[in-house]
Structure 1
Amino acid sequence: MDRIKTKYLGLELSSPVILSSSGLTSTLPRIQAAEKAGVGAVVLKSIFEEQIMNEVAHVEAYSDYPEAADYVQAYVQENSLNQYLDLIRSAKQQCSIPIIASINCHQDGQWVNYARVIEEAGADALELNIFLLPTDKEVPASELEKNYLNIITRVKETVSIPLAVKLGAGFTNPLAVVREIYYRNVKGVVLFNRFYPTDIDIEKMTVCAGDIFSHASELSNVLRWTAMVNGSLPLIDVAVSTGVHDGADVVKAMLAGASAVEVASVVYEKGLDVVAQMNEFVADWMRRHEFQGTAEVIGKLNAKNIPNPALYERTQFMKYFSKHE
C-alpha cells in the first residue's frame, strides 16, 4: 500500500499506524508480530528512570554493606539497561520497520546517559516521555515547563538520532511549549500522554485504578491541539496518541495535521488484526477522495487551512449548545 506511506521524524513508514510503547512492544516476538500485522513502526516499551532508581533503592535498603552501595547501584542500572539494549539490537537485526526507543522520566539526572547508549544500540529514534505531576502548590507552571525544557536540552546534547517528546494535556499553553521544544531542534511531539487513571471504589472506600484503556471520545481534544500545533508550527511532526480506535480516527488525525498515530488500547482489546483494518480503511478513503499520498492529506484541515479556525477554538459548551433541549 504505497499510498499510505508517511514520513515521521524523518523516518519512512509504510503505514501511519505506530504501535505505541506498551507491553505489546516489550519482546522481539511481539515486535515481529506487529510488523507482520502492518504497523509502520514500533515504540518500544519504556525504560523507566523511576523504576530503575526504585530498584536500586530497594536493593541498597537490604544490603548489609553500605560501602557496596555504588557497586549495587551501578549493577542494577547496567542490568536493566542492558536488557533494553539487547531488545533494540535484536529488533533492528530481525525487523525492517523503524524501532523507536522510549525513556520515561521526570527529572534531569544521570539517566540522560541512557539516551547515548540507546542510540549506540541502533535505535532509529527516541521518544521522551516526561511525566511531572504538579503536586506542589509553591511551584509555578513556569518552573515545571523549565524542567521539561532542561531535560529535552540535555538529551538533545547527548544524541543525534531524531527525538520526539510525548506531552501531557495539562499545560497552560501547549502551543508555547511545543514552540520551545521546536526551537531545541526536536523533530516531533506526541499528543497526548495518557496518565495512570485514578478511580474510587465507593463500597470499599479505597482509591483504585481507573480504566487503563483509552476511549474514542478522548480523540476530540487531541484533534483540536494537533490542528493548532500543525497550523502554527508545521515543521515539527505530530503523532496523535490516545483515542485512535479505527481507520476513520487515523484519517481524522492526519487531516488535523498528524504524520502518524500511536495505538495500543484498541490492539489490546481487538488484537493486531485491527492494524490491517486501519490500513485498508485509510487506503480506501484516499482512493475515494483521489489522494495519491499522505502528504496531500496531512494538515489539510489544520487550524491554518480551514476558513474558520475558530472551530478549533470553541471551548464553551453552553454558548454553542444551549438551544438544544
Structure 2
Amino acid sequence: MDLSTHYLGLELKNPIIVGSSGLTGSVEKVIQAEHHGAGAVVLKSIFEEEVALAYAEFMKTAKSVAGETPYFDYDGRRSPIEYYDYVIREENLKKYVSLIEASKKAVSIPVMASINCFLGSVEWMSYARHLEAAGADALELNMFFPPTDFTKTRADKESIYFKVTEEVTKNLSIPTALKISHYFTDLGPMIQRLSRTGIGGLVLFNRYFSPDIDIDRLEVTNGFVFSTPSDLAMSLRWIAIMAEKVDCDLVASTGIHDGAAVIKQLLAGASAVQVASCLYKNGLAYLEEMLGGLERWMTENRFMGINSFKGKMSQAKSTDPSVYERVQFMKYYGGRKNVAV
C-alpha cells in the first residue's frame, strides 16, 4: 500500500503532517513525531508577537527595578531601547535556527519552518533567509491580519498578503506555503489569486485565539484552544470547492481528529493534512492509529495509492456541484432526504 504524496515539491511518505505547535517545538518531539509515522513536521512558529511581548515584559521588569527606562550598552547605530529590541529578535532567531539545524540532523522526514506574521513587516524577509540557510525544507507563513482593524480598507489588508508573498518567493529558493484564515469577503477568488503568486501551497485554515468569558471572575479567557471534529466542515468545504481551481497544492488543517477525517480531506482534493489538536488530546502515538485507519480504508476500497482517489469527491468532479454550496439547506429544511455527489 503506497501512502506517499507530494506537497511543495517534496515527497512525503504519507499525507499526515504534524502542524506547527508545541508538539514540534523541540528536537525530541520532532523525533517522536517521525517515530510514530508523521510524513513531515512544521516546526513551532517563530512569532512576531512573542518578540514584541518579550521586549515589553523586559521593559516592565526593568522599570519596576530601576524606576526608570534602563540604559543599554548599545552599538551606537540605534537608540538604547531599539538596541535591546534588536537583541531580543536576534536571540529568538538564533534559537529557532538551532532548532531547524538539530531537527534536520535527527530525522529524515521533511522539516518545515514557520513564521507567524501579524503585521506584514518586510523585516521578516531577513528571518526567512536565515531559516532557509539553516536547512529548512520549506517555509510556512502563518498569516492572519485581524479584520478588526477599522483603519484599513479591505484592499489595504489584502494587499499585505501579496506584498509578503512577493518578497518571500522572490528571495527564497525553498518552497513556500501560506496558512491563511477564512476571513475574506471573496474567499474563493482570494484563494485562487494567492495560488497564482508563485507559492507552492495553501493551508486551509489556521486557528487563532478564540475568546471566552469567565462569568465568575469577569475575565476574558482562551476557552477554545483545541479544534473539535465539527470544525472539519469549514476546511473540507473549501478544499473541495477550490481543488482543481488553484495553481498550487492545497493542505487541510483544523478539525482533523481521526483517520476518517484524513480520508475525507484527501477525497475532497487535499495533497496532505495538518494535525495538532488530536495529538494534544491523544499523544503523538495516535498518528499510528490515524495512519492505520487510512491504510485499512484504502485496502477495503482497493486503492493502491493516494493519487488513485485524491480529489475524487471534489466539487469539480461532482455530478451536482451545488452539494458544497446551498443544497444542504434543501436537505434539512426543504424535505429532500438524500444528497449524493
Normalising to structure 2: TM-score of the pair?
Answer: 0.90
**How far apart are the structure 2 equivalents of 1:76 and 1:16?**
36
Partner of 2:326 in structure 1? Answer: 314
Cα separation, 1, equivalents of 2:164 and 2:311: 29
Higher mean alpha-carbon deviation, 133-142 vs 26-35, is at 133-142
Match of 1:92 in 2: 104
Counterparts of 1:94 and 1:271 in 2: how far apart (Å)?
A: 20
Amino acid at match of 2:23: L
Aligned partners of 1:202, 1:40: CA distance in 2, in Å? 43
Mapped partners of 1:218, 1:315: distance in 2: 20
Distance 1:244 1:116 in 2: 32
Q: Which whole-Å CA distance do the structure 1 matches of 2:40 and 2:333 have between them?
A: 44
Structure 1 unaligned blocks of 5 or more? none
1:295 partner amino acid: N
How far apart, in 2, do the equivalents of 1:76 and 1:141 lie? 33
Say whether the 8 Å CA contact 1:230–1:236 is kept in structure 2: no
1:139 Cα offset (Å): 2.6
Retained in 2: the 8 A contact 1:231–1:305? no
Alignment partner, residue 180 of structure 1: 193
Give the RMSD, CA atoms, in angstroms.
1.7
Query: Where does structure 2 lack aligned partners over 5 or more consecutive residues?
Result: 63-68, 73-78, 336-341
Higher alpha-carbon Rg: 2
| CA separation of 1:52 and 1:138: change in aligned 2, threshold 3 A | closer
**Residue pairs, 1:292-307, within 5 angstroms:** 292-307=304-319
**Cross-structure match for 1:109:** 122
Which position in structure 1 is the counterpart of 2:242? 229
Q: Give distance in 1, aligned partners of 2:328 and 2:108.
A: 46
Partner of 1:13: 12
Q: Please state how far the C-alpha of 1:323 moved relative to its aligned partner.
A: 4.8
CA distance in 1: counterparts of 2:310 and 2:158, whole angstroms: 28
Matching residue within 149, 161, 164 for 2:162: 149
Instruction: Please state how far the C-alpha of 1:45 moved relative to its aligned partner.
Output: 0.3
Question: Corresponding residue for 1:65?
Answer: 71
Q: How does 1:1-325 map to 2 (within 5 A)?
A: 3-59=2-58, 62=62, 63-65=69-71, 67-106=79-118, 107-233=120-246, 235-314=247-326, 317=329, 319-323=330-334
Q: Deviations over 1:267-302 (max 9, x none)?
A: 010112211111111111112212121112211111
Question: 1:132-176 deviations in whole A, cap 9, x for unaligned?
Answer: 111133432222111111111111122111111001011112221
C-alpha distance in 1 between matches for 2:228 and 2:129: 35
Scaled by the length of structure 1, the TM-score of the pair is 0.94
Whether contact under 8 Å (1:226, 1:256) holds in the other structure is: yes
Percent identity between the two aligned chains: 40
Secondary structure at the aligned position of 2:203 is classed as strand
Per mean C-alpha deviation after superposition, the further-off stretch among 94-103 and 268-277 is: 268-277
